[in-house]
Amino acid sequence: MSERIRVLVVDDSALMRKLIPAILAREPSIEVVGTAMDGAFALKKIEELQPDVVTLDLEMPRMDGIETLRLIMRRAPLPVILFSTHSKEGGYATFKALALGAVDFLAKPKDAAAGRLDEIAGQLIAKIKVAKRAAGRKLPPAVIVEAPAPKKGTRAALPPRRVIAIGISTGGPNALQFVLSQIPADFLSTILIVQHMPEGFTEMFAKRLDECCALEVHEARSGDLLLAGRVLICPGNRHMMVRRMPRGDMVILSDGPPVNGHRPSADVLFHSVAQEFGLVAVGILMTGMGDDGAEGLGAVKAAGGMTIAQSEDTCVVSGMPRAAILKGYASKIIPLDGLAAYLIGNYGAERSGADKSEKLEKHDKKSINEKNEKFEKNEKNEKNERTSVPSQRS
């Protein structure tokens, strides 16, 4: 039997310091080696007990979770799971803590004070196991938001050159902030993101990304148009799909059942993008555990779109991209630090000759909808009529 995962529980609530070890005791592979009532005690216990993983409350007296995490990462970095109350203030603190190096987070249930943690026991155990496997993985550099990123003035609402769909989970907040902060405001494509995240957190996450990115970022609403330079984050506990409508291409949200155990699900978004956009679709699977999005990425590839997986060695957890790679669904494998440059070079500026030929490869014409047929005709015309405007905007 492999060694058990040694966990230190840090929480100012005496009740939580009893309940959390109790639910973790159900898992034979986990051993709670100690508890601490605040950050100062936690730092001493870490030095004394040498845990593999720490669960950390953010709202504590004397030394709060943020300062504790900062010192943990400075002195002896180890995997930290944030386990704190869900509130607006707590949400912003959570994203700040993730930027400082926490592996993942889990919101305490609203009735946690009444001793009801059973509903999240499985999630916490799974996250601790993932955190242990992620030990030693290099996180992307933190993007410190001191002032909102400069936005371009009012820009024309232009249709996108490409519809880029991203599926991402554990390690996602830092990875997305790292990539999106490098993309300029005049990017010619639209980006749709399914980040596995609880309801209530996605709006704050979108606002944080909007502050650090030149792109326009917000939580998606049904009816939001797909526009160049716009990034839409799927709300927690909803599915996101796309539709071709007379007034423009747009997002549609759904309350359908979970897929692969997730709502939102990357598979739902990818299948929808493949069906509606075919050749102009781009699917990207990034860091995350499980296999959500793998089959959907295969659908994008089958429809003639481009499919990309983040390289496993640059993921906090490589389950999602690895699942697609093993099935042969990823046309390209790109490290995290190369993703932004690839997107800008291929989908954010004038279309190159190489890009033209890549998108005119063999495909099943029966699976292409009317918009894709029109796109293909415009592509061919571009070779004869040299213009400075991409065909998607003609």
111 lies in the same domain as 206:
no
Regarding whether 102 and 198 lie in a shared domain, the answer is: no
Cα–Cα distance, 200 to 323 (Å, whole number) = 29
pLDDT at res. 358: 46
**R_g (Cα) of the chain, nearest Å:** 22
Task: Note if 196 is an active site residue.
Answer: yes
Residue 150 lies in a domain: no
216 and 89 belong to one structural domain? no
Q: Strand, coil or helix: what is 334?
A: strand
Residue 237, domain extent: 163-347
Q: What CATH number is attached to the domain comprising 260?
A: 3.40.50.180
> Do residues 203 and 128 both lie within one domain?
no
- Of the two residues 369 and 235, the one the predictor is more confident about is 235
Residue by residue, DSSP assigns 150-204 as PPPSS------S-EEEEEE-TTHHHHHHHHHTTS-TT-SSEEEEEE---TTHHHH
Which residues are registered as beta bridge partners of 253?
240
| CA–CA separation, 130 and 103 (whole Å) | 9
* pLDDT value at 72 more than 90: yes
Residue 311 belongs to a domain: yes
pLDDT tens by residue, 133-190: 887 666 665 555 555 566 655 566 889 999 999 999 999 999 999 999 999 999 999 9
Last-in-domain residue among 80, 111, 133:
133
How far are the Cα atoms of 20, 68, 110 from residue 113, in angstroms, in the given order? 12, 23, 8
Residues 111 and 221 in one domain: no
**Rounded-to-integer distance, Cα 142 and Cα 203, Å:** 20
Q: Could you say which of 133, 152, 175 is where a domain stops?
A: 133
3-state SS assignment for residue 260: coil
| Cα angle value 154/160/262 (rounded, 5°) | 105
- CATH number, domain of 111, equals 3.40.50.2300
Residue 146 belongs to a domain: no
Whether 177 and 127 map to the same domain: the answer is no
* Same domain, residue pair 95 and 241: no
If you average pLDDT over residues 228-244, what whole number do you get? 96
Same domain, 280 and 179: yes
Same domain, yes or no, for 169 and 226? yes
Top pLDDT among 375 and 236 is at 236
User: Residue 285 falls within a domain, yes or no?
Assistant: yes
Binned at pLDDT 50, 70 and 90, residue 288 comes out as very high
Hey, what amino acid is at 4?
R
Query: In terms of C-beta density within 10 A (0-12 exposed, 13-18 middle, 19 or more buried), how is residue 200 classed?
Result: middle
How far is the C-alpha of 122 from the C-alpha of 118, rounded, in Å? 8
Q: Which residues contact 153 (CB under 8 A, 6 or more apart)?
A: none
Q: CA-CA distance, 351 to 315, in Å (whole number)? A: 30
Read off the pLDDT of each residue in 36-56 and give the average, rounded to a whole number.
95
Taking only the tens place, the pLDDT of each residue in 203-220 is: 999 999 999 899 999 999
In a domain, 382, yes or no: no
Is 267 considered catalytic here?
Answer: no
Strand order in 5-10's β-sheet?
30-36, 5-10, 53-56, 80-85, 104-108
Q: Of 86, 292, 311, 355, which is the active-site residue?
A: 292
CA distance 348 to 163: 11
Looking at the domain assignment, is residue 152 inside a domain? no
Regarding whether 173 and 121 lie in a shared domain, the answer is: no
Residue 187 lies in a domain: yes
Whether residues 178 and 323 share a domain: the answer is yes
pLDDT above 70 covers a percentage of the chain that reads: 80
Inside any domain, residue 142 = no
pLDDT, tens digit, for every residue of 332-366? 999 999 999 999 999 986 544 444 444 434 333 33
Is the pLDDT confidence value at 381 over 90? no
For residue 285, the one-letter residue type is L
Model-wide pTM > 0.85: no
172 and 307 share one domain? yes
Active site residue 291: no
Q: How many domains does the chain have?
A: 2
Q: Which of 169, 189, 272, 318 is catalytic?
A: 169
